[in-house]
Structure 1
Amino acid sequence: MSPGTYRQGGQGQTISYGVTDSDLGPMLVAATTRGLCAVRFGEPDALVQELRGEYPKAVLVEDTAPLVEYIAGVRAHLSGHTLPLTTDVPGTDFQRRVWAALRDIPVGETRTYAQLAEMIGQPSAVRAVARACAMNPVAVVVPCHRIVPKNGMKSGGQGGYRWGVERKAQLLEMERLQPLS
């Protein structure tokens, strides 16, 4: 999805979505015909409202049939198997570079924001990298949970996470116990 289409509230897009159970609680999965555009965790009604708020001009269709492969793929990610899932996420070139680098971090490992900035060749862009992580629309698939603050690595802290620090800790622990890919 182009940034322009996103800014227009998803006008002209049809997005299929569904809320299903996962090891991390209720999970919303949404996709256009081009790919996965949202993976979120939380309360089902709030997740759907957030999707409607983000894409007010898109046609939203509650239908998990076109999402079967995506749901299975996200569940595979949760069990330590990184599968190549096609995404259709709005983002700037910089955000896309950050999200691609996040996908290169091996399961069971973490990096700091500064290390991620180094990975994309922009060591002074630590704050912009942190913002790109916070804007990640496809949790788990783009594993922003693998980023921890520099001081957190020493003190055992994991930093914030859009879907809750408890979920982040659970994800990191799941990956630590089962680094399969």
Structure 2
Amino acid sequence: MDQQTNPASDDDLWQVVEDRNGTFDGDFVYAVRSTGIYCRPSCPSHRPQRRQVRFFPLPELAAQAGFRACKRCRPEDAEPRNPSVDIARRVCRLLAEEGEGLPTLKDLGLAVGVSPYHLQRVFKRIVGITPRQYAEALRLGRIKEELRNGEPVAQALYGAGYGSPSRLYEKAPGQFGMTPASYAKGGRGARIAYALGDSSLGRVLVAATDKGICAVSLGDRDRQLTDELHRDFPAAEIIKEDGALSEWVEAVLRLLNGEEPHVDLPLDVQATAFQRQVWQRLQAIPFGQTRSYGDIATDLGKPGSARAVGQACGANPVAVLIPCHRAVGQGGKVTGYRWGTDRKRKILEREKETP
């Protein structure tokens, strides 16, 4: 594998982690869903199950996704050998320190010692989005955290660097998923019901708010699934309601078993603008067919953003309802499924066998 770039696929990344290959320390991190912790590849800790792992090119992106740095291997302190990764990390730190005003590409380039053009190109290749898009995502993340903690909307938006409420509300439909006021009401004291079902692929959890389904998870044990639900929605009131959700659970099971090509169920999921674009593209892939991450990136007018597409697929909270299993590697290689590549392969096989 070329030292100047990260390993080419999630399978390559996983091999580096299994080998505890310190050569790539600082060039990517892996995060474990079951613990909420991210580590450097050479971390001496016990290796998790593959299906519990997500990969991030930068520690900052793992932290933004809600994972905590491992206190044993301290991945945030690893120095990248790849100059491009070093540039991206330095820009992420600069943007995290900004308040009201967003720095220009020229300002960022001067700070890290490269041209604006080179900075933009390197950052987008490593992170998958532009520096400005990353800065906006940071702001929205800060606001969501403030609102979950019960802060008033006005205080949250000014604390995150927005000069006026109108600027925040302009971005709400595409990136927030709801208005800030609605998010504030739902972040603390929101009621989420869930139900569990059994399938040939293991246990299935379906969770929903009063607006629609917010999570569909696959796993081996009920405790694992419910623990993940509580981690994803720490401020919500979560209750078990098998009867109320039985029809939705049955619909999800039909999809998993390949018995039905599509079910029309309401969703209540949060997404960035880019994630929403990727998810809409996934929903347009016909039943029984697949598209490569690279092809999806090209369809979105973002050639070269295959890794960012893969990350958007990994962030999908509703298995099979948003069919991220239909996104594959080059040549149809089955890789990178949040709930395990074996499950992904079986779902695809069933869809292809269904008349």
Q: TM-score category by the smaller chain?
A: 0.7 to 0.9
Cα distance in 2 for partners of 1:5, 1:65 equals 32
Cα root mean square deviation, aligned: 2.0
Amino acid at match of 1:72: E
Amino acid at match of 1:67: L
Q: Would you say 1:28 and 2:205 are equivalent positions?
A: yes
Shift of 1:115: 1.1
Amino acid at match of 2:344: K
Matches within 5 A, 1:1-181: 8=148, 10-42=187-219, 43-78=221-256, 79-151=259-331, 153=332, 157-179=333-355
Shift of 1:5: 5.1
Cα distance in 2 for partners of 1:108, 1:81 equals 8
Residues 91-131 of structure 1: CA distance to partner in whole angstroms, max 9, x if unpaired? 11111111111011011101100111123232232221111
Shift of 1:33: 0.6
Shift of 1:76: 2.7
Cα distance in 2 for partners of 1:48, 1:76 equals 22
Aligned-residue identity in percent: 41
Match of 2:216, SS?
strand
Shift of 1:69: 3.0
Amino acid at match of 2:196: V
Cα distance in 2 for partners of 1:178, 1:166 equals 19
Pick which of 122-131 and 107-116 moved more.
122-131
- Flag structure 2 segments of 5+ consecutive residues without an equivalent: 1-139, 150-186
Amino acid at match of 1:39: V
Cα distance in 1 for partners of 2:250, 2:300 equals 30
Cα distance in 1 for partners of 2:190, 2:199 equals 27
Cα distance in 2 for partners of 1:73, 1:120 equals 30
Residues 9-46 of structure 1: CA distance to partner in whole angstroms, max 9, x if unpaired? 84232100011112321001000010111111112110
Calculate the TM-score normalised by the size of structure 1.
0.88
- Flag structure 1 segments of 5+ consecutive residues without an equivalent: none
